[in-house]
Amino acid sequence: MFKHLLKLIWNKKKQNFLLISEILFSFMVIFAVFTFGIYCWDNYKQPMGMEYENVLAVNFTNPVKTTNADSLRLFYETVKRNLKSLPEVDEVSYASVNIPFSESTINNSMDINGKNIRQINEFSGEDSYPGVVNLKMAEGRWYNKQDGLPGTRNMVINRALKEKAFGDVPVVGKFLGDPAKPSERFKIIGVIENIKFNGDYQSPALAIYKRMDTAGYKWVSNMLIKVRPSADAAFESRLYKTLANSLNNANVEIEHLANKRISINKMTLVPMIILSIVAGFLIINVALGLFGVLWYNINKRRGEIGLRRALGATGNGVSSQIVWEAMILATFSMIIGSFFAVQFPLLNVFDLPAMVYIIALLASVLFIYALVLVCSLYPGRQAAAIYPAVALHEE
d(CA 365, CA 330): 9
Among 304, 327, 367, 381, binds another protein (CB under 8 A): 304
Task: Name the nearest CA neighbour of 206 among 244, 175, 162, 239.
Answer: 162
- Asked if 129 contacts 95 with a C-beta cutoff of 8 angstroms, the reply is yes
130 binds another protein (CB under 8 A): no
Smallest separation (angstroms) from another protein to the CB of 328 = 14
Most distant CA pair in the chain: distance in Å? 103
The residue type found at 227 is: V
Task: Pick the closer one to another protein by CB: 157 or 341.
Answer: 341
Looking at beta carbons only, is 53 or 137 nearer to another protein? 53
Is residue 1 a contact residue for another protein (CB under 8 A)?
yes
Among 296, 349, 350, 362, binds another protein (CB under 8 A): 296
**119 binds another protein, rule: CB under 8 A:** no
Residue 249 binds another protein, judged by CB under 8 A:
yes
Distances (CA, A) of 16 to 19, 77, 108, 183, 366: 5, 75, 52, 66, 21
Q: Map residues 44-73 to x or -, x wherever contact with another protein holds by CB under 8 A.
A: -----------------x-x----------
CB of 6 to another protein, least distance (A): 11
Is residue 378 near another protein by the rule CB under 8 A?
A: no
Residue 67 has what DSSP assignment?
-
Q: Find out whether 177 and 111 touch, Cβ atoms under 8 Å.
A: yes
Q: CA torsion, points 211, 217, 222, 228, in degrees to nearest 10?
A: 60
**Which candidate, 219, 74, 94, 211, places its Cα nearest to that of 146?**
211
Residue among 86, 138, 250, 272 that touches another protein (CB under 8 A): 250
Does 166 sit near another protein (CB under 8 A)? no
Per CB under 8 A, the list member of 97, 252, 258, 267 interacting with another protein is 252
**Inter-CA distances, 333 with 16, 117, 289, 373, Å:** 10, 39, 16, 15
Residues 216 and 96 sit within 8 Å (Cβ to Cβ): yes
- Measured distance CA(128)–CA(106) in Å, rounded: 21
* 303 scored as a contact of another protein (CB under 8 A): yes
Residues 315-374 that bind another protein (CB under 8 A): 315-317
In sequence order, the 6+-apart residues with CB closer than 8 A to the CB of 320 are 380
Asked if 308 touches another protein (CB under 8 A), the answer is yes
Letters for 225-244 (x = contact with another protein by CB under 8 A, - = none) are -------xxx-xx--xx--x
What count of other Cβ atoms lies within 10 Å of the Cβ of residue 141?
14
Determine contact, residues 165/109, Cβ cutoff 8 Å. no
Among 78, 251, 263, 276, indicate the residue that binds another protein (CB under 8 A).
Answer: 251
**Residue among 60 and 94 whose Cβ is closer to another protein:** 60
Q: Which of 37, 100, 204, 388 binds another protein (CB under 8 A)?
A: 388
Binding site for another protein (CB under 8 A): 1, 3-4, 7-8, 11-12, 18-19, 21-22, 25-26, 29, 61, 63, 232-234, 236-237, 240-241, 244-245, 249-254, 278, 281-282, 284-286, 288-289, 292-293, 295-297, 299-300, 302-304, 306-317, 387-389, 392-395
